Each structure stands twice: as C-alpha cells, then as structure tokens.
C-alpha cells in the first residue's frame, strides 16, 4: 500500500491493539477507514477481508481466527479445501495485528495467500 494515509491508519490500528487490545469503539471505525483505502487501490480481496474482519469483531467482540500455518498452499488446492487449524493457543490480538499488517504490502504473494486464508476462515466461521 503506497498511500501514506493508509499506512498511518495501519500504524494507528497496530499501536492501539498493542496498547488496549481489541477495543471495538475505535478499532471498527479504523478498519472501516482502512477499507476505504483498499477500495481506492481496487483490491477486492483486501476490501472483503477487512469487511469480514470488522463484522466478525462486531459479532464476537474479539477476533477468533488464528494466524495461518506457515505451510505454502497452491491457490487451486486452497480453494477446494476446508480450513483446518492446528490446535494451538490463538491470540486474537496477534492474529488481528497480522491481518492488518498484511494490508501494508498487497503486492506480496505471501500476503495475498494469507489474506485468502483469512477470507475463507472468516466466511466459514
């Protein structure tokens, strides 16, 4: 993401998550603001992931999707598979920070792959 205002919003979200955890009062508004910047750069995957993310937080008062495993997945196999997560402790704040940080570089193929994971996981939740 090359938009300096978007980077500022990303940094603010990450800083607030570190300071207060998942505080829905400002967090949802900040994610909605960040989403407008992803609309401007015409990245439908990021737009959907951010919308699903704030809707998930509104419904659950937390972020219950774990960080994806580090195993590479090819896109076709990923589309057909159901999401399986490893039974590990999942830190909602760290997972949410990871999702938000993925938006910073939408040209990175690993980030896109992880955003696809989050999209699928959020839809299936």
pLDDT digits (tens, 9 = 90+) for 25-79: 899 999 999 999 999 999 999 999 999 999 999 999 999 999 988 655 444 444 5
> Mean pLDDT across the stretch 86-112?
87
Q: Which domain holds residue 12?
A: 4-124
pTM of the model: 0.83
Q: For the segment 74-93, what is each residue's pLDDT rounded down to a tens digit?
A: 444 445 444 444 434 579 99
Number of structural domains, the chain? 1
Locate 6 and state its tokens: 């978007």
Quick one: pLDDT band at residue 2, thresholds 50, 70, 90? confident
Average pLDDT, the chain: 87
Q: For the segment 7-26, what is each residue's pLDDT rounded down to a tens digit?
A: 999 999 999 999 999 988 89
Residue whose C-alpha is closest to residue 45's, from 96, 92, 109: 109
**pLDDT confidence of residue 111:** 95
Locate 86 and state its tokens: 């490893």
Quick one: 102 exposed, middle or buried, by C-beta within 10 A (0-12, 13-18, 19+)? buried
C-alpha 76 chain-centroid distance? 21
C-alpha span between 65 and 106 (Å, rounded): 20
**pLDDT confidence of residue 89:** 54
**pLDDT confidence of residue 44:** 96
């Amino acid at each position: 993401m090359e938009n300096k205002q978007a980077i500022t919003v990303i940094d603010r979200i990450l800083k607030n998550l570190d300071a207060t955890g998942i505080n829905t009062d400002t967090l949802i508004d900040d994610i909605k603001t960040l989403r407008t910047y992803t609309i401007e750069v015409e990245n439908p995957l990021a737009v959907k992931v951010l919308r699903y993310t704030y809707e998930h937080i509104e419904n659950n008062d937390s972020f219950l999707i774990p960080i994806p495993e580090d195993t590479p997945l090819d896109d076709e196999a990923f589309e057909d598979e159901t999401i399986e997560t490893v039974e590990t402790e999942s830190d909602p704040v760290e997972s949410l920070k990871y999702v938000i940080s993925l938006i910073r570089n939408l040209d990175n193929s690993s980030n896109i792959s992880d955003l696809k994971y989050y999209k699928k996981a959020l839809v299936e939740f």
